[in-house]
Structure 1
Amino acid sequence: MPRTGLRLKSPEQLIFESGADLEGNGLKRTIGPFQLVCFGIGAIVGTGIFVGLSDTVAEAGPAVIVSFILAALTCVFTAFSFAELGGAMPVSGSSYSYTYASLGERAAFLVGWCLLLEYGVSVSAVAIGWGQYLNELLEHTVGWRIPAALADAPGHGGVVNVPAVIVMLLAAVLLVRGVRESARATAAMAVIKVGILVLFCAIAFTAFRSGNLSPFAPEGIGGIGAGASLAFFSFIGFDAISTAGEEVKNPRRNLPLAILVTIGCVALLYCLVSVAALGAMPWEQVGGKPAALSLIVNHATGSTFGSTVIALGAVVAIASVVLAVMYGQTRILMSMSRDGLMPKVFERVSPRTSTPVANTWIVAVVFAVPAAVVPLDVVLDMTVIGTLAIMAVVNICVLALRRSHPGLQRRFRVPFHPVAPLLGVGFSLYLMYGLPVVTWVQFAVFVAVGALVYSCYGRRRSRLARAQTAPDDETRGAAR
């Protein structure tokens, strides 16, 4: 074992173990560049813009546009880092694997632990938002709503959120059928929801009034910062592209390309949606309202037909996010299981469907619980702080790998190195600063539990540790 105490995997070892240049561990390369971009859009565009926009507006007012730009900048700098690392190490583990190669096993495990927040807990948040728009759609089409007791969490007028559980189970069914089918479904849903948001902009701009944007920043700089922390949730998911590293055709080229194209398209779309929304309706009437986009379309058209279309688009959009994010969580757990840091059940791949069936069902069932009984705002804040912490680490990984492996093959290189990664770290920490103190306390407890799990389970079962100690045992035996 290295004297430094760090258990590091070289990038070459990660690539070899995953079969990244061949077929990796039973996974098949079936995802092309268009499907990968659609997968990225599918993972991002959903609850954040369809449901979370109103909460962001409540914090920042019309300056929500600036909040979105700040959140986008954080993602752009980190997207550069993900593009470089994904092109150099096209494996399924995403930021977990990148950290293993640059900062060591303990840091990698904690990143993987935090990814439970970004993917597992966030899919719960997304599923909760899906139920809100499903009710909106049912009301407009059949004149009936799911009773509050079966559509909301305890403390918010409900007992259990049944729609949130249903959408997660449906996503699991599709995922275990095969990655090709999942990718096609995600691509179709991504095209539909982008079309719905473009339609929303076209309708909202017909009611645009410049006076609605004044005063521009009623809550001041503090409101913009708090709004940026919430707006960041709308961008979570672009790194899910890198979790598909072992199932992408020509990954060294297509992974960086898809990451950058996706984040650029989504940032532009969000800015257009926020300008159109707040130009069409005063921010005081939008802030804090559920299904805000439908409300704005009703206001702009004077009818409920447009909002029915928006609600339909939101149901499709948010379902695709559940699908994409759940996919990402299963691939990360698979990578951690291969390394011995998670139970073996997570790495088993069905020979019939080439998918991790048991892994997928465990993720669906476990994270359906918070979706069913935890309020949306609690889930959102924990997802955001966990994701921002991971993004800060990913930028640090680029700095560390440039230093330790300068000769590593990189199809894409972060521009303006080391300034861009340092800005990525800075923006991530700034947005974390804008989150409530209680979220910091919850996050600290979560990380402490993760450190304990690693010490008691992962450190002892690590396959890398066994591989490093085996040669030493052989040497001692020969000496005797």
Structure 2
Amino acid sequence: MISPPNTTAQQTDTQSTSSGPPLKTPSLVLFGIAYMAPAVVLATFGVISVASNGSSASSYLLATTAMLLTALSYATLSRRFQLSGSAYSYVRRVLGPNTGFLAGWVLILDYLFLPMVIWLIGASFLSAQFPGVPMWVWIVIQAIVVSAVNVFGIKLADRLNTILLTFVTLVLIVFVALSLQQWANENTSVSVLSPFWNSDSSILAITAGAAIASYSFLGFDAITTLTGEAANPKHSIPRAIVITTLTMGAVFTIVSFAAELVASTTIITDQDSAAFDIGSRVGGNFLASAIVAALVVGGFASAIAAQAGSSRLLLAMGRDGVLLRNFFGYVHPVRKTPVLNIALTGLVGLTATQMTLTSSTSFINFGAFTAFTVVNVCAIVLAWRSEGSGQRRWGKIFVASVASIVTLFLLFNLDGNALLFGSSWLVIGTIYLAVLTRGFRKEPPELALDEASS
């Protein structure tokens, strides 16, 4: 977890306060799955189906492959460095402080925009359920409630993880079963292989869908934030990263496969809430309501965690002097929470009222794919420097190289607005770094991040 430097009081504000036994691999996997929010596949299905020309299952398979290769790089680095700073810490150790700073800077995109995307997803489905209420009202309500929870410091997401996962799993199982039953009963000409390849499919379309689908995997790297609380982190963290990625890849592919089989014969009113229309058709109002509940409640818990993480990242950067200390480094004297940062992330989230799900997820994917690519490069460099056997060494270099190529390919297949916005953000970060280091003549301040004992 992200924590500010120096005093014990400061550390208490942002460190994990878990007093229970060390987390073992199953607990770490459950954390990763909960953070990734399995129901997100229902939220993004319509967008991915349109982008992939009805081949969303293939898009998820490609995204799973890409994320699994990158997950192996994270596993390698987490085994070598038992640090909870994820990409920032790994890149800083392997490629140097300046590159590490820029990796952290790019990740700010994820932290700032993730709550916005979660609120946009929830609002899309709530609007479908309650068409008389404007979407912007739901976005504002979510932003206010989640921000209030974080100001009071309630760890609602942690408390509800098991309940939410059970509920969401049941909803997904019912959705898949009823969709398959609907397809079988209709006896249509829709081929069982059409979700993977059909007459409208193309490699470019599937790749474009995979670029969006990869958003669903964001969070597997968050497992590294529990390094300090994990039992035997050198082994449990890497295992949990790989298991979580494989598990979620299978879930996303199966759900999108079942949805795609009946999507072509379903009237879709809005691609952002396509799963709602499919659920209404195959399971009536009850399943449609269950889908909305799974997305909203699960998204609520995820948004709490995402906003808490973003506000504490900004707090750490403020206290280290990377950002304006008086604003970003401020902690409320009573609540002991970074209220100004929480308010800022809440305001950023309100921009969802002017954005679509496609564009907002693309912004997040720019930061994620850039960070993933640099982590893959770190894995290549680390393997090159190693003194292991030649065959094993070159095998690691090959896997990380392929992962780098795939994540770069996905990065450049994002829409033009995301590339322009992300590149501009990176340029701003580079200029800011130049000023901060007086023309790169000194090292940038290092963010204080909890480290597990090596």
- The TM-score range, normalised by the shorter chain, is 0.7 to 0.9
Assess if the C-alpha contact under 8 Å between 1:46 and 1:321 holds in 2. no
User: Which residues in structure 2 correspond to 1:378-389 (within 5 Å)?
Assistant: 378-389=359-370
- Residue number among 235, 254, 271 corresponding to 1:272 in the alignment: 254
Assess if the C-alpha contact under 8 Å between 1:45 and 1:266 holds in 2. no
Report deviation, 1:74: 1.0
Closer, same or farther in 2 for the Cα pair 1:466/1:419, shift >3 Å? closer
Assess if the C-alpha contact under 8 Å between 2:269 and 2:277 holds in 1. no
Closer, same or farther in 2 for the Cα pair 1:279/1:253, shift >3 Å? same
Assess if the C-alpha contact under 8 Å between 1:46 and 1:126 holds in 2. no
Closer, same or farther in 2 for the Cα pair 1:361/1:23, shift >3 Å? closer
Closer, same or farther in 2 for the Cα pair 1:306/1:126, shift >3 Å? same
The gaps in structure 2 that reach 5 residues or longer are: 447-454
Closer, same or farther in 2 for the Cα pair 1:262/1:53, shift >3 Å? same
Q: For residues 369 and 119 of structure 1, what CA distance do their matches in structure 2 show?
A: 14
Report deviation, 1:393: 0.5
- Residue number among 73, 76, 79 corresponding to 2:71 in the alignment: 79
- Residue number among 56, 70, 75 corresponding to 1:64 in the alignment: 56
User: Which residues in structure 2 correspond to 1:314-333 (within 5 Å)?
Assistant: 314-333=295-314
Assess if the C-alpha contact under 8 Å between 2:376 and 2:403 holds in 1. yes
Identity between Structure 1 and Structure 2 (%): 23
Q: CA deviation digits over 1:242-266, x for unaligned, max 9?
A: 2343455554343223322221211
- Residue 447 of structure 2 is aligned to residue 455 of structure 1: no
Closer, same or farther in 2 for the Cα pair 1:296/1:232, shift >3 Å? same
Q: Which residue of 2 aligns with 1:218?
A: 200
Closer, same or farther in 2 for the Cα pair 1:60/1:378, shift >3 Å? closer
- Residue number among 8, 19, 25 corresponding to 2:11 in the alignment: 25
Letter in 2 for 1:291: S
Closer, same or farther in 2 for the Cα pair 1:104/1:424, shift >3 Å? same
Closer, same or farther in 2 for the Cα pair 1:164/1:198, shift >3 Å? same
Report deviation, 1:435: 2.1
Q: For residues 126 and 313 of structure 2, what CA distance do their matches in structure 1 show?
A: 30
Letter in 1 for 2:49: V
- Residue 215 of structure 2 is aligned to residue 233 of structure 1: yes
Deviates more, 1:223-232 or 1:69-78: 223-232
- Residue number among 120, 128, 143 corresponding to 1:128 in the alignment: 120
Q: For residues 333 and 460 of structure 1, what CA distance do their matches in structure 2 show?
A: 23
Q: For residues 164 and 200 of structure 2, what CA distance do their matches in structure 1 show?
A: 37
- How well do the aligned residues superpose, as a CA RMSD in angstroms? 3.7
Q: CA deviation digits over 1:1-34, x for unaligned, max 9?
A: xxxxxxxxxxxxxx9x989xx9993324527345
Q: CA deviation digits over 1:72-92, x for unaligned, max 9?
A: 111101111222323433434
Q: For residues 23 and 421 of structure 1, what CA distance do their matches in structure 2 show?
A: 40
Closer, same or farther in 2 for the Cα pair 1:360/1:135, shift >3 Å? same
Letter in 1 for 2:11: N
Assess if the C-alpha contact under 8 Å between 2:52 and 2:206 holds in 1. yes
Q: Which residue of 2 aligns with 1:391?
A: 372
Q: Which residue of 2 aligns with 1:113?
A: 105
Q: Which residue of 2 aligns with 1:39?
A: 31
- Residue number among 289, 314, 319 corresponding to 1:308 in the alignment: 289
Report deviation, 1:310: 1.4
Q: For residues 98 and 335 of structure 1, what CA distance do their matches in structure 2 show?
A: 17
Q: For residues 97 and 343 of structure 1, what CA distance do their matches in structure 2 show?
A: 22
Report deviation, 1:221: 1.7
Structure 2 length-normalised TM: 0.81
Closer, same or farther in 2 for the Cα pair 1:398/1:334, shift >3 Å? farther
What count of residue pairs does the alignment treat as equivalent?
428
SS of the residue corresponding to residue 212 of structure 1 reads coil
